[in-house]
Chains A and B, each alone.
Chain A
Amino acid sequence: MRPEDAPGDAPALDVAGLHVSFGGREVVHGLSLRLHRGECVALVGESGSGKSVTARALLGMAGAGASTNAARLELLGRDLTDAGERTWRSVRGRDIGLVLQDALVSLDPLRPVGREIEDALRIHERLPRAARRARVLHLLERVGMPDPVFAATRRSGELSGGLRQRALIASALALDPPLLVADEPTTALDVTVQARVLDLLAEIREAGTGILLISHDLAVVARLADRILVMRGGRVIEEGPTETVLRSPREAYTRALLAAVPTDRPRGSALSVRAGASDAATLPPATQYGGRTRTTSAVSGPAPTGHGSERPLLQLHHVSKAFDVPGGRLTAVDDVTLELHAGETLGLVGESGSGKTTVARLALALSTPDSGDVVLDGIDWSRRPERERRPMRPRLGAIYQDALSSFDPRWSVGRILADAAARGRRLSGRADSLVDDLLEQVGLEPALAERRPLTLSGGQRQRVAIARALAAEPEVLVCDEPVSALDVTIQAQILDLLDRLQRDRRLAMLFISHDLGVVRHMSDRVAVMRAGRIVELGDAESVFRAPSHPYTAQLVADAPRIVA
C-alpha cells in the first residue's frame, strides 16, 4: 500500500520494455512493471496472454528456444538485462522465490518436503545442520502448517493440496527473498483452502515481501493485490490501483473479465459479456457464436422448476458407499438422499474428498452403492445388472472436468459425436449433418469435426464434451466439475452454454463443483456436501443468503468475490 514512486525507495523489481519471443514469434511485447517491497502487483489475463512467460522471464527461466530482452531489468537495483545462467542461479531462491500452481509436480515426490525446503538453505547459505533443521521448522510454522515436525518428514504426495501449497511457499520463502513470484498459486485448490493460502500470502506481504501474483481470476487477485495489470495478447492493456481497475475498468476486456466472475451473480444472467472474446483468438472471425449466447442466455427469471406432484427423474435414496483405503475403510458417501426433477438444476458443492464425484458415479451407475437405492424414473437403476442398464444409459449424459481424457485419442471430433449420436445404430448418410447440427448447438463451427480433440483449446474441448453428452438426447445430465480446469472467461461461456441448453431441453442437471460461486450461479437447488454427508439442502438463494450450517457459512465467506 505504498505510493507508486516513493522517493528514495528503489523498487524491488523494475522492468521496462520486456520482450520475449519463441522462434521469431514474439509473445510478450514490451512489458513494463515496477514492484516495491511489501507490495503486491497482480498480472491478470487468460491462458495464452503471456503472463506466465513474463513471470519466467523475470526469473531468467523463459526456457530453451526463448529469447528475452529488456530495456531495463533491475532486481534490488542490480542490473540483470544481460545476466548469464550463473548469475541467475545466484539470484533465484535468494532474491526471488517462485511459487507455482501445482505443488504436486513442483516438489520432488520422492523426498520429504523438509528436505526440499532445506535445499535452498544448503545451496545458498552456510549453516550448520541443526540450524538448518530449525529454520525449516520455523518456515513451516510460518506458513501455517498444523504440525511442522510431522509435515517436514512427509513426501509431497502424502500431504493434502493446501498443505502441499504451503510447503511450496515455505520453500520459496526459505531464504527470505525480497520478492516472491506466485504463478496461479491457488488455481488447483478448493475455495476454503484458497482463502487460507491467500491469507498467508497477505501476511507475507505485510512482512515486507514484494509479491508478483499471476492469475486468470480477477476475484482471486482482488483480495490481495495493491495494483493490477491486465494482460492480453502479450501486452498490458490496463494498469492501475486495484480499486480503480475493479470499480471503473477502462477496457472492455477488463469488464469481460469482471463479468465472468460467477460469485453472487443471480441465476439466469449471462456471464460472458462478449462471448467469443477469448475463444475468438483461436477461431476464425466467422465463428461469431457470440450473438446466440447473448440472446438466449439473457433469459431472465428463474428456470421453470417443474416439480411438485411430478415424480423425480433421478433419486438417490439413503445411498452409502465405502472404499478400502490403506489403513482402513473410507466412507465416501454416507446416507445421501437426493432428488432431481426434470427441468431443474441441482447443485452439489463441497471440497475435494467430500464425496461429490462418488455421488456422480453412483448416479451414473458406474459404481453400485453398498446400501440404498438409485432410482431412475421409477426403475431400480442401481440394482439392475449392467446388461439391463445398458439400453437405458443414453437417458443419462455426463460431462467431466478433464474433457480431453474422456475422448478416445485416436478419434476425430466428428467421429466422437457421430458415435454418440448413433446410440449404437447405423447412421449411414445422416452422420455429417447430425455432427454439424451438434457442433452448431454448442457454438462451434463445422470445420472442427475434422480435428482431433488434442488440437482444440480447453473451452472448445469442453464444448465438444457437451455436444457428445447431448448427442444421445439424455434426460439427465451429470456435470462433474465441468469448468474447474478453465479460465474464468472461458468458464463463463461454458456456464452460459450449459444453462441455456438445460433450459431449452428441460434437462435434469446434477451440477457438481467445488466452486460455490459457480454452483450458486447455475443451480435452482443446492446440496452442500462434507465428508460424505449432505449437511445442507435447499433452494439455492436461501441456502446462500442464510446458510444454516456453519460449514456452508464458511464456504460462502471464502468464495472469491469482487468487493465493490
Chain B
Amino acid sequence: MSELELRQSTVEASAEHIAPRGRRWPRPGTILAGGFVAFLVVATLAPSVAWTQDPNAIAPALAFESPSFAHWFGTDESGRDVYSRVVAGTGTSLLIGVTATLIGLALGLVLGLLASFAGRVFDFAVNRVIEVLFAFPGLLLALLVIVVYGPGPVTATIAVGLSTAPGYARIIRGQFVSIRSSHYVEAARVLGRSPARILGRHILPNALVPLSVLATLGIGQAIVWASALSYLGLGAQPPAAEWGAMLAAGRTYLATAPWLTAFPGLMIVGTTIATTILGRALARRGQEGR
C-alpha cells in the first residue's frame, strides 16, 4: 500500500500549512511539467492544431517508416502517422483519466461523509466495505466490473473510478474526523455557529482543498490503469487512437517497429510524471498559495 502511504503523506503535508511563506519561482521540473500538461490540454481541446496530418489517413506505401522529420514518431502498419495518432488519442486518455478520478472522488466523498457523519453504525459498515475493497488489487476489481458489464471505454472508466474510490474514501473520512474534532471547529461552536454553517465554512473547505492535490496525483494513476485495460483489450478498442489501445496494436511489431509502442508508452509515462509533479507542487504550496 505504498500508494496509499504516498497519498496519506500528501494530505498531511498540505494539511499542516507549514509551507514557508513568500513568492518563489516554481522549480524547473514544475515548469516543464506545466508545459507538458499545457500541450496535452491543447491536444485534447483542439487536436487538429497539434497533429501534423489526419491520424486516420491510410497510406500503405509509407507503412513502418521509422521516425523522421516528416513523421516525428514514425508510421504504423497502415502508414498512419504515429505522432498524429498519439495527439488524437490524448483526448480519450485524459478524459478517461479525469472522469475516472472524478468518479473515484465522488464515491469516496459519499462514503467518507457517510462514515464520518452518519453515526457509528455507518462508520463501522463503511469501514468494513472499504477494507474488503482494499483487499482486492485495484486492477482485479476493475476487471471484475468489466467482466460483468462488458468491455469498452465507458465501462473501463467506471471500473477504474470504482477501484480508486476506497482509497479516497478512507482519506476523506480521516480528514473529516480530524477536522471535526479540531479546536477551530470547537471555537466556532462556542461562537454559536450552527452545524450546517460549521460544515460549510470550516469542515468542507479544509477537507477538500488537500483533496484537490490528491486528485491531481490520482489522474496520472487513472490514466495508467485505463491504458492497461485498453492494452488488455478491455477498454478502448484498437482502431480508436487511444494510448493503451495503440500499445496493444503495436506489440505485434515490437521487434521490427518499436516506435509503434515506444511513443504511446512515453506519452503515458510523461503524462503520469507531469501530473504527479504538478500535484506535488500544489501540495507544497498548500494553503499559502493565496
Contact = CB atoms under 8 A, between A and B. Distances in A.
Nearest to B197: A424
B21 interface: yes
A393 B191 contact: yes
B120 interface: no
Q: Which of A391, A393, A394, A410 has the most CB of B within 10 A?
A: A410
B191 A472 contact: yes
Interface in B180-216: 182-184, 186-194, 197, 201-202, 205-206, 209
B184 A423 contact: no
Interface in B140-199: 182-184, 186-194, 197
A452 to B, nearest CB: 8
A455 interface: yes
A413 to B, nearest CB: 13
A378 interface: no
B287 interface: yes
A398 B205 CA distance: 24
A289 interface: no
A391 B205 contact: no
B133 to A, nearest CB: 30
Contacts of B202: 408
A394 B192 contact: yes
B183 A406 contact: yes
Nearest to B19: A454
Given A408-B202, A409-B206, A420 B184 contact: no
Contacts of B17: 409, 454
Contacts of B182: 405
A183 B187 CA distance: 33
A402 interface: yes
A468 B183 CA distance: 14
Contacts, number: 61
Contacts of A544: none
A408 B190 contact: no
A460 to B, nearest CB: 15
A397 B184 contact: no
Given A423-B192, A454-B17, A455-B21, A406 B197 contact: no
A405 B184 contact: yes
A364 B182 CA distance: 16
Contacts of B287: 409-410, 452
A25 B184 CA distance: 35
B26 to A, nearest CB: 21
A409 B197 CA distance: 17
Interface in A14-72: none
B179 to A, nearest CB: 10
A348 interface: no
Contacts of A405: 182-184
B190 A407 contact: no
Nearest to B189: A366
A253 interface: no
Contacts of B193: 390, 424
A409 B287 CA distance: 8
A397 B194 contact: no
Nearest to B184: A408
Given A454-B17, A455-B21, A406 B194 contact: no
Nearest to A478: B190
A400 interface: yes
A409 B18 CA distance: 10
B183 A393 contact: no
B90 to A, nearest CB: 35
Contacts of A364: 190
Contact of A420 (B186, B191, B201): B191
Contacts of B205: 410
A253 B128 CA distance: 61
B187 A398 contact: yes
Contacts of B186: 366, 406
Contact of B194 (A390, A392, A394, A409): A390
B130 to A, nearest CB: 27
A542 to B, nearest CB: 33
Nearest to B290: A410
A424 B184 contact: no
Q: Which of B187, B189, B202 has the most CB of A within 10 A?
A: B187
A398 B190 contact: yes
Contacts of A271: none
Contact of B190 (A397, A423, A454, A455): A397
Given A408-B202, A408-B206, A410-B205, A366 B190 contact: yes
A435 interface: no
A408 B18 CA distance: 14
B197 A400 contact: no
A394 B205 CA distance: 24
Contacts of A406: 183-184, 186-187
Nearest to B192: A393
A396 interface: yes
B192 A407 contact: no
Nearest to A393: B192
B184 A392 contact: no
A396 B190 CA distance: 8
A389 B190 CA distance: 10
A424 B205 CA distance: 18
Nearest to A408: B184
Q: Which of A366, A406, A420, A472 has the most CB of B within 10 A?
A: A406
Contacts of B190: 364, 366, 393, 396-398
A209 B191 CA distance: 53
A410 B206 contact: yes
Nearest to A455: B21
Contacts of A424: 192-194, 197
A407 B194 contact: no
Contacts of A407: 184, 187
Nearest to A402: B183
Nearest to B21: A455
A483 to B, nearest CB: 17
Contacts of A454: 17-18
Interface in A413-435: 419-420, 423-424
Contacts of B206: 408-410
Nearest to A361: B186
A400 B187 contact: yes
Contacts of A398: 187, 190
A252 B158 CA distance: 72
Contacts of A396: 190
Contacts of A390: 192-194
Interface string A550-563: 00000000000000
A67 to B, nearest CB: 20
A405 B16 CA distance: 11
15 contacts: A366-B186, A389-B192, A390-B192, A391-B192, A398-B190, A407-B184, A408-B201, A408-B202, A409-B206, A409-B287, A410-B206, A410-B209, A410-B287, A424-B192, A472-B191
Closest 8 CB pairs of A and B: A393-B192, A405-B183, A406-B183, A406-B187, A409-B17, A408-B184, A398-B190, A390-B192
Interface of A: 364, 366, 389-394, 396-398, 400, 402, 405-410, 419-420, 423-424, 452, 454-455, 468, 472
